[in-house]
Structure 1
Amino acid sequence: MHFALLTTGRAVFEPAVLDAGHQVTFVAPFDRVAGLRAQYPGRLVVATRSWDDEAALEEVEAQLPDDVDVVATIDEQAIWAAGWLRTHRSLPGQSQDQALGYTDKAVMLERLQAAGLPVAAFRIVTNDTQVEQAAHEVGGFPVVVKPVRGQGAVNTFPVRDRAHLDELRAQGVFSAAEADASGRFGASARLAALSDQGGFIVQRYIDMDGPGAREFWCDVHAFDGEVLLAPAGWYDTPPMTAGGRHRYWASLAPDDPEVTDVKKLAATAVQALGGATGVSHVEVLRDRHGALWVGEAAFRIGGGKWQAYSRQYGFDTPTVLTQLAAGQRPPIKDLTPCHPVLATLSLAPPAGTVTRIAPAEQIGALPGVVEVDLRLREGDPVPAPIGVVPMSGRIVWAPTGSGQDSIATEAQVLIDALRLEIAPDGTSGDRQ
């Protein structure tokens, strides 16, 4: 088959498609074209100036070969563009309209709400002067502010009350854009300031302050409407409020009662949004009273999650993505996990220069550790995050239990074993 792969340079999907023997044409932002041509000589690489502009996509469509069978991507900023191209080429897969439901959060919430799913009340505003009125309309402060099209919790934050709103406005938070530390957002406006996006969302804050409150994730693998596999787990703390510190999450056993209802709700959300074939990453929140709420969904694998559950269930996620994109049913239904639970420690040290860190081989030899991906090197600066998504690496391990307290203890053991020291500008270094 002939794949048109929409990519920003994160080489997860591309090797699997090529290894499967498919013909590939790449579509990428202008600043990624030269690198792709050097990496894949002889392959056609089509440049785009925008993933979000229809005129730009018309230019792309005109340059694609006539025999393209599949349009695919795992880059969230290119999901709608892929849907647009499929619709205009009459190709199978997620349509332009279905992709809109995954990439426009206002449309997403409206569709989830229309399907009878529990979502927090929300309003769309055009500027920060309307936030207070919107807050009153959704039930009062606190509220969460988020972009209509965002990524990695970029420009997503709680507003506690009127005084906090005034403080945030004075700080210029609503007019601040996120820096493109990865260099992968040149054709996307997802890192733009809230004030530059033509509107943003004010949503009721779900009360997560309590011992029973928790945020869950679920990656729903579906084929032709059938759920084949739905790995699920929890975060140690909601990602939106986890900035500036190491965090961890767990991938639980398929029969763990804590995620039974989470997986059912996530699968229903995917059905409502039209994710019939592919992988959807769904966030589900359990409030302090035990009620479940659908947070958001994305038509992609969960960043940092798939590496763990691939090992847990013993399959290769990029290969499964390739099969799903090609309209082939992957053999992943009713898999028995080789690890009942896998946990992931995501490293998020403060900005500065790494002055000390244990070798990856030493960490990999610790009991229970199954994968180490360290992106911190002595003498190098700490990689900047994208929103609240850290880019410093992760450690995946098989914990001795599934309880949050025991996993927290083991996570701290790993943090201590790293012996990580960071020198902020003008200092000699601090232990992290």
Structure 2
Amino acid sequence: MNDRRVIVVIFDKGAVSASSIAQSLNDSFDLVFAIHDGPFTDQMLPFLTETSEVVHLVGDPEVDAAKLARHCPDGILTFSESMLPSTARLATILGLPFHTPGTVRRLTNKFEQRSVLRASGVDRIVTAAIDSESDWERALAKVGLPAVVKPVRGSGSSGVCLIRDESEASHHRTRLFGGESTPGHLLAEEYLQGRPSLPFGDYVSVESLCTPQGITHVAVTGKFPLRPPFAEQGSFWPSQLPAHEVTAVTELVSRALIALQVSVGITHTEVQLTPTGPRIIEVNGRLGGQIDEIATRSDSVDLIKINALLAVGDPIGVEPACAGKVVFLNILSAPTHPCTLTAVHGVRSVRRIPGITGYTSLAQQGQYFPGAPEMHRLGVLYGEACDHEAMIAIVDQARSTLSFEFSETSHVPTSSGSLT
């Protein structure tokens, strides 16, 4: 008789790859991938069916819950931002631990999240909703310049723009509302000016385990400086912050999670480091992008498996991550203007640099990049160092070893590739 527990992963494009999920969970659980059919999941289907059971969801919560119930699941989770609402509905019907639908609404709707944090006194960011072009001037007048405008729902800094003056306000208004399609619901909020932090980023993230018994902050993740305006360039464990600042950051995040009524699961909270102290950028109700890779390479904790154990209601005793080295991944971003990648140099050489443990190419020759506001990646460097100073030196050497050639273009060439 099979006494292994069944874990359902509502899968789509998100923070963790299918291969990482399967590698982490198949030894301990009977894994079921549940998917909505679409271009991404269709592409992944051969791998998913090879490594697990697959359930095709139709979008009706009652019908989908009945399909999943046939597998007698002990837990349900997702690593995809877009799948959080449907996962919450299914968990409620199936009687399984997960964020409640109300909690998911507060975690995924940035306007509501800001409202809750402001009302609870956690972080009083000035915000304004932009539901149509007629709201534009009123919203920016309320928030003031500089301002950040972003989709009310979204992830990965997609569609986020920084507006520093009236000229940029006019440009982005035309870009967003001047075409045939509408941008959907937007949020304007005051810009949080980071403190001088080079060579590190002026923000961090906090990876937290939430249970009915309390909150454990597994790690404060350091960041490399953003590529303007908001393209992430990678992360590292541990952060460069001294102990007293780690305490201030984690205490702020605890207050935010309590205010948002997060009681189960893993969260990823981004925190801006300002001259007057830490401020909340946003709270996400799932594992952060590529954080599982940092955790695995640091030999500290398997966050994917921890997430599954939380989902089946196991008591978790996890200490804050403590590695005797600095583990990092550094992202190389595509240009912010339209162009086509024509050549890449230095890939073999970069892999031989001491401290570089790997390089993954995410682009191919002939690939077209449309530029801002979307963010695209050329590749990811992986490595480790004895301390933060050594890490910066290794990254600088690696980035100077790699070079990319582009041709300027304003249209998609017929030979363009696609992101892998």
Q: TM-score, with normalisation over the residues of structure 2? A: 0.81
**C-alpha distance in 2 between matches for 1:384 and 1:221:** 37
Of 257, 277, 283, which residue of structure 2 is paired with 1:270? 257
Aligned runs of 1:117-196 on 2, under 5 Å?
117-138=122-143, 140-170=144-174, 172-174=175-177, 195-196=182-183
Residue number among 214, 222, 225 corresponding to 1:234 in the alignment: 222
SS at match of 1:260: helix
Aligned to 2:380: 394
Distance 1:385 1:267 in 2: 37
- The one of 30, 36, 52 equivalent to 2:45 is 36
Quick check: 1:152–1:387 contact (8 Å CA) kept in 2? no
Decide which of 21, 25, 39 is 1:17's aligned counterpart: 25
Residue 107 (structure 1) aligned to one of 112, 121, 124: 112
Letter in 1 for 2:357: V
Provide closer, same or farther for how the CA distance between residues 225 and 237 of structure 1 changes in structure 2, counting only shifts above 3 A: farther
CA distance in 2, matches of 1:259, 1:273: 21
More strand by share: 2
- Post-superposition shift, 1:5? 1.9
Equivalent residue number for residue 402 of structure 2:
418
- Note the residue ranges of structure 1 that are not aligned, 5 or more in a row: 50-55, 178-192, 428-432
Output the CA distance in 2 between the equivalents of 1:125 and 1:408: 40
Matched, 1:217 2:222: no
Number of equivalent positions: 394
Distance (whole Å) between structure 2 residues aligned to residue 103 and residue 59 of structure 1 = 24
Deviations 1:282-317 (A, max 9, x none): 111122x33221110111222133312332243333
Is this contact kept in 2: 1:4–1:25, CA < 8 A? yes
Structure 2 match to 1:327: 313
Tell me, yes or no, if the aligned pair for 2:301 and 2:321 is still in contact at 8 Å. no
Q: Is structure 2 residue 352 aligned with structure 1 residue 344?
A: no
Instruction: Report the Cα offset of residue 35 of structure 1.
Output: 4.5
Residue 346 (structure 1) shift: 0.5
For the 8 Å contact 2:98–2:311, the answer to whether it is kept is yes
CA displacement, residues 193-215 of structure 1 (integer Å, 9 cap, x when unaligned): 7x342x32111112237569922
Alignment counterpart, residue 301 of structure 2, candidates 288, 310, 315: 315
- Residues 235-384 of structure 1: pairs in structure 2 closer than 5 A: 235-238=223-226, 241-243=229-231, 247-252=233-238, 256-257=242-243, 258-287=245-274, 289-339=275-325, 341-350=326-335, 351-359=339-347, 362-377=349-364, 379=365, 381=367
1:9-45, Cα deviation, whole Å (9 max, x unpaired): 6313244333323252523334425742664158342
Q: Distance in 2 between matches of 1:358 and 1:176?
A: 41
Amino acid at match of 1:22: D
One-letter identity of the residue aligned with 1:21: F
> What TM-score, normalized to structure 1?
0.79
CA-based RMSD: 3.3
Aligned counterpart, 2:416: none
- Which segments of 5 or more consecutive residues in structure 2 lack a partner in the other structure? 414-420
Q: 2:371, 2:220 → 1: CA distance?
A: 24
In the superposition, relative to structure 1, how do residues 358 and 240 fare at CA in structure 2: closer, same or farther (>3 Å)? closer
What do residues 142-194 of structure 1 show as CA deviations (whole Å, max 9, x unaligned)? 21111111111122112223332222223x234679xxxxxxxxxxxxxxx7x
Give matches, 1:66-85, under 5 Å.
66=70, 67-85=72-90
SS at match of 2:26: helix
Give % identity. Answer: 17
